[in-house]
Structure 1
């Protein structure tokens, strides 16, 4: 049986194949994330990005806590590492070389998309509502903690 691409529900197969062979500058992507979303969404940027992320994440099929790591890398969202999994929740460390050039306030707003993607993927897998929150400390360590909503 052929395994379905985890990203097939987000993009057409031909687009995925072509895009993964391309080498594109990151500047355009960063411009969209940094400038356009802020200009279009304003003060609602964070909750809208979280909601969109959850919608996207629900379409990424995973079978374990680590199942979301590879799609993150393929989508250029950063290096995601599982740092803790317990009854209380699942914690990931998210890193990307561009984060050091962004203010903590901007990171909190823009990374709501990534937090939402994680929450959505975990929701589909665990079949329960999940909430994810960002924690950013002074050393640019970004933790995303996902818990069942109670």
Structure 2
């Protein structure tokens, strides 16, 4: 069995109950302290790296993955020819925290699915409950180069 397969199986065997307190400390206290001004761009890159590590074809149910990762409830709201819009209702969502980790993950996941260079952005919807709208766009003229 490959190392990657073992890594994925280990993750799936873990207890999915993550302490909200522990998650809050990591995501909202430690990570900003460590990454400083580069937090948003590093988190975007990290989200893409996680997606590449897991590979898109191994994640069939995107909303289930988000729930298991404790990233929140992901709902596809709109789908167009070269764009998808998702709403993310995240646990302990804090308005001034970036959601670039999730954006990077969705950008890379979608890039695997479409075969086109993809990017994702987000905006916080201030309605109750607080929701993060993630927009994923790709250019059908900009194919991913396979090496």
- Aligned partner of 1:16 in structure 2 is 12
In 2 relative to 1, CA 11–63 (structure 1 residues): closer, same or farther, beyond 3 Å? closer
Match of 2:110, SS? helix
Cα deviation for residue 138 of structure 1 reads 1.8
Q: Pick from 142, 146, 149 the counterpart of residue 132 of structure 2.
A: 142
Which deviates further from its counterpart, 111-120 or 9-18? Answer: 9-18
Q: Which residue of 2 aligns with 1:114?
A: 102
- State how far apart, in whole Å, the 2-side matches of 1:63 and 1:13 are: 11
Alignment of 1:2-41 (within 5 A): 11-20=7-16, 23-41=17-35
**4+ runs of 1 displaced by more than 4 Å?**
none
Q: 2:145 maps to what in 1?
A: none
Contact 1:119-1:132 within 8 A present in 2 as well: yes
Shift of 1:63: 8.8
Q: Do 2:70 and 2:91's aligned partners in 1 also have CA atoms closer than 8 Å?
A: no
Counterpart of 1:61 in structure 2 is 56
Offset, 1:67: 3.5
TM-score (norm 2): 0.80
**5+ unaligned residues in a row in structure 2: which ranges?**
143-147
Among 90, 100, 115, the residue aligned to 1:96: 90
After superposition, the CA RMSD in angstroms is 2.4
- The whole-number CA distance in structure 2 between the counterparts of 1:127 and 1:10 is 27
Length, aligned pairs only: 134
Alignment equivalent of 1:133, drawn from 107, 118, 121: 121
Query: Taking structure 1 as the reference length, what is the TM-score of the superposition?
Result: 0.78
Q: Secondary structure at the match of 1:98?
A: coil
Q: Which has the higher contact order (CA 8 A, sep 6+)?
A: 1
